[in-house]
Amino acid sequence: MLFPSEYAEIQSLNQDHPSPFVNNFAVSMQEACMPSVLQYNTFLTNLPNFQANVPVHDFSSCVSNNSTSDEGDDQLHTNMIIDERKQRRMISNRESARRSRMRKQKHLDELWSQVVRLRTENYSLIDKLNNLSESHDKVLEENAKLKEENSGLRQMLTDAQLSSTYNSLKDLEEAHFNAESSSDQSISNSQ
């Protein structure tokens, strides 16, 4: 394969010995042996003060070694395929990383949403617990009052029952005394 400097020497040689055959031969050799150099050559030849010195005898090695050129083309093709695969792999990796970031972000959003929901639930449960605690305290106070009232009422009932029993006994005693008195009077009258 020819290097750009070798091709440049051939062009310089062509300018020293103008011949239409050599010019056509140089161009056809360039296209056959160096397809990638052709692109750069048109750019370089348009530059001012460009001089190329390529020895003519290097073309003979290029012509005689077409298989080397084919191998070079195969290598270039293989490199292009490898580069294309690398490019596809890079794009695929970027897409995969993007999808992974999106999944992670979605998961984080879901977790954050869950945190907000659980916090709201927690505040609601704390409010309910506070209300129940206050109600419980009120119920305990009311129970204590009711127990006192119950105790007082029992005492009153006991007192009332005792009083009633005492009055009944007193009435009975009075009735018995009255009966004895009247019986004594009747006995004394009868005598």
Letter for the amino acid at 25? F
Half-sphere exposure (CA, 13 Å, Cβ side) for 69?
Answer: 18
d(CA 181, CA 16): 179
d(CA 72, CA 66): 10
CA–chain centroid gap for 73, Å, is 49
Per the listing, tokens 């009311």 go with: 142
pTM: 0.38
Can you give the pLDDT of all 191 residues of the chain as single tens digits? 445 555 455 554 444 444 444 444 444 444 444 444 444 444 444 544 545 444 444 444 444 445 566 777 888 889 999 999 999 999 999 999 999 999 999 999 999 999 999 999 999 999 999 999 999 999 999 999 999 999 999 998 888 887 777 777 777 778 777 777 776 666 666 66
Number of other residues whose CB lies within 10 A of the CB of residue 6? 20
SS3 75: helix
Contacts of 167 (CB under 8 A, 6+ apart): none
d(CA 31, CA 112): 64
